[in-house]
Amino acid sequence: MGNTFGQLFRVTTFGESHGGGIGVVIDGCPPKIEISETDLQRELNRRRPGQSKITTQRKEEDRCEILSGVFEGKTLGTPIGILVRNKDARPEDYAEIADKFRPSHADFTYVAKYGIRNWQGGGRASARETIGRVAAGAVAKKILSILYSDFEVVAYVAQIHGVIANVNRSAVKMKDVETNAVRCPDAAAARKMESLIEQIRGEGDSVGGVIECVIRGIPPGLGEPVFDKLEADLAKAMLSLPATKAFEIGSGLAATRMRGSEHNDPFETRGGKIRTATNNSGGVQGGISNGEDIYFRVAFKPAATIAREQRTVTSSQLRTKLAARGRHDPCVLPRAVPIVEAMAALVLCDHALRQKAIGLSVDRSEASSDEIRRRGRS
């Protein structure tokens, strides 16, 4: 259980780091969306290992194959099956630790839960699992772009350890993010981050940081009251990513030191639309989008795999030591940027379809759909 995400745009992933491959099934994709393996590959390449000198040097091509659901370049409305074969696996890197519980990894908890462990790598807990999310996210982005002409999701590294970027959240574009290997749009900070990551790698250690994400062009009305609030689903989406420790929407933790009179976002009329003068809400009020930019921050811990020797125990409760031999990321954030975007797109696409389900009937009752659309979108 727990391998499916979404209510209407339903994404089910499968696969371990070692074995036949990693895949995803997307159920509920609307028909006649143009989608190709090239579209998916573009996003998968941003996630791929070995893409720059600051990521792991494992050579994984991560070539995807669309198995079903697309015909003559268009979605059929039927489930889209996508498969990426596993390659360049070196189980021998792991043989030594087959019986050891790596600190802050999922080795121990998987054994506790299932009584069995695929010791050839991270198994299902490996970040390779996110391949399916990124592929599905590429489809979700496409749908959102069709539904909302101004739709845009931009994630970027905002902090690595003590280095904090200075980014204009309202203006930053994906091309600004992709200018450097760290995926930080502040060039000066990016250089510092890159040096820091190289240094940390040299020390056999790892660092964490913060990814910020801004979503533009979402009309008012997405998100469900009560349990499936938009920020609740975003929080779940982000905390379901490996290595994440915190989620902040809008003002986030800073809100705890503000007064209501400072924090409230006054409504005003701008460009003929109802807008808020400030955006501490982060684009969501009462769990529902209000038409402003949606933005949030995700905290990542330093990667658990480090070259330094650490103490731990074996499954027989014997004290032991271990040091990672594999080729690992000293900092997961640069490669996590497209993953954060993908999860954000999955959440929004699901809520967009959910809103469509209740939305058409309105225009058959008294309120015209035009009015709704006017309020909602324009």
> Can you say how many angstroms the Cα of residue 67 is from the centroid of all Cα atoms in its chain?
24
For a copy of itself, which is the closer residue by CB, 23 or 49?
Answer: 23
Q: Please give the structure tokens belonging to residue 178.
A: 């992709």
CB of 140 to a copy of itself, least distance (A): 12
Q: If we measure between CA atoms, which residue out of 245, 182, 165, 207 comes closest to residue 330?
A: 207
The DSSP symbol for 98 reads: T
CB of 89 to a copy of itself, least distance (A): 13
Separation of alpha carbons 264 and 282, rounded Å: 11
Residue pair 267/332 in contact by the 8 Å Cβ criterion: no
For a copy of itself, which is the closer residue by CB, 62 or 233?
Answer: 233
Give, in order, the Cα–Cα distances in Å from 199 to each of 53, 194, 195, 235: 12, 9, 6, 32
Residue pair 87/61 in contact by the 8 Å Cβ criterion: yes
For a copy of itself, which is the closer residue by CB, 19 or 50?
Answer: 19
Separation of alpha carbons 14 and 154, rounded Å: 27
CB of 299 to a copy of itself, least distance (A): 5
How far apart, in Å, do the first and last CA atoms of the chain sit?
40
CB of 175 to a copy of itself, least distance (A): 25
For a copy of itself, which is the closer residue by CB, 172 or 288?
Answer: 288
For a copy of itself, which is the closer residue by CB, 176 or 350?
Answer: 350
CB of 116 to a copy of itself, least distance (A): 5
For a copy of itself, which is the closer residue by CB, 49 or 291?
Answer: 291
CB of 177 to a copy of itself, least distance (A): 19
For a copy of itself, which is the closer residue by CB, 175 or 257?
Answer: 257
The DSSP symbol for 314 reads: B
CB of 131 to a copy of itself, least distance (A): 12
The DSSP symbol for 28 reads: S
Separation of alpha carbons 48 and 51, rounded Å: 6
For a copy of itself, which is the closer residue by CB, 173 or 309?
Answer: 309
CB of 72 to a copy of itself, least distance (A): 8
Q: If we measure between CA atoms, which residue out of 378, 358, 368, 376 comes closest to residue 220?
A: 376
153: β partners: 215
Which residues, other chains included, contact 66 with Cβ-Cβ below 8 Å and sequence gap of 6+? 35, 36, 37, 40, 80, 81, 82
CB of 187 to a copy of itself, least distance (A): 21
Q: Please give the structure tokens belonging to residue 243.
A: 């290595």
Separation of alpha carbons 27 and 227, rounded Å: 22
The sign of the torsion formed by the CA atoms of 176, 182, 186, 188 equals: negative
For a copy of itself, which is the closer residue by CB, 33 or 167?
Answer: 33
Q: Please give the structure tokens belonging to residue 328.
A: 């690992």
